[in-house]
């Protein structure tokens, strides 16, 4: 786990994670709390849709929901560093599917054609089934990690691997962006 909450309800980043991403060391308590609550896969808000997660994290960290855009802009490099440590393709796929589901549901509400409604409903069902399958795989993997434990070496190795995969994917995305 990248973070823990101490007895004073403050978020503490794992010391070994700070060594891999020293940029995180310079964050205020509020900024760190925002990043963890908005972006961590194990945040108390991780099941909320993206925008809701950002608003709730902003409210908890800064006492207002009005700081989401400012925080995401100001902390973009820090967020990237944090995300790189926990990166998991399956969880990112799941988040993408959940965002698509939200759009499909909104489209379904506006649709009047029964043929189109049926098609949208079938698509939504397929996405929901796929989300459940991915979530089961993630849950099984989490259970295995808890069973075998997570010593510092295991955490560091996993974070290094995550960081490497994240950077590879970001490099690939930047290659695919038209100039």
Contact 27, 35 (CB under 8 A): yes
Pairwise CA distance, residues 61 & 37, whole Å? 8
Contact 131, 98 (CB under 8 A): yes
pTM (predicted TM-score)? 0.71
Q: HSE (CB half, 13 Å, CA atoms) of 71?
A: 28
pLDDT value of residue 7 = 79
**Mean residue pLDDT across the chain:** 86
Taking only the tens place, the pLDDT of each residue in 49-91 is: 889 999 999 999 999 999 999 999 999 999 999 999 888 899 9
Give the residue ranges of DSSP H helices in the chain: 15-20, 29-39, 50-62, 68-74, 76-86, 89-110, 114-148, 152-176
Contact 24, 13 (CB under 8 A): yes
* 22 alpha-carbon distance from chain centroid: 20
């Amino acid at each position: 786990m990248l973070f823990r909450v101490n007895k004073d309800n403050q978020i503490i980043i794992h010391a070994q994670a700070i060594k891999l991403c020293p940029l995180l060391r310079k964050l205020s308590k509020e900024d760190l709390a925002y990043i963890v609550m908005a972006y961590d896969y194990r945040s108390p808000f991780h099941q909320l849709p993206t925008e809701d997660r950002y608003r709730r994290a902003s409210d908890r960290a800064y006492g207002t929901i009005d700081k989401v855009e400012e925080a995401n802009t100001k902390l973009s490099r820090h967020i990237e560093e944090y995300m790189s440590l926990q990166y998991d393709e399956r969880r990112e796929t799941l988040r993408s599917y959940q965002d698509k589901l939200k759009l499909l549901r909104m489209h379904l509400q506006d649709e009047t054609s029964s043929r189109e409604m049926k098609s949208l409903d079938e698509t939504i069902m397929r996405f929901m089934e796929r989300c459940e399958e991915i979530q089961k795989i993630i849950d099984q993997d989490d259970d295995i990690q808890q069973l075998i434990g997570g010593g510092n070496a295991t955490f560091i190795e996993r974070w290094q691997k995550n960081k490497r995969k994240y950077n590879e994917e970001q490099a690939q995305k930047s290659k695919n962006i038209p100039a």
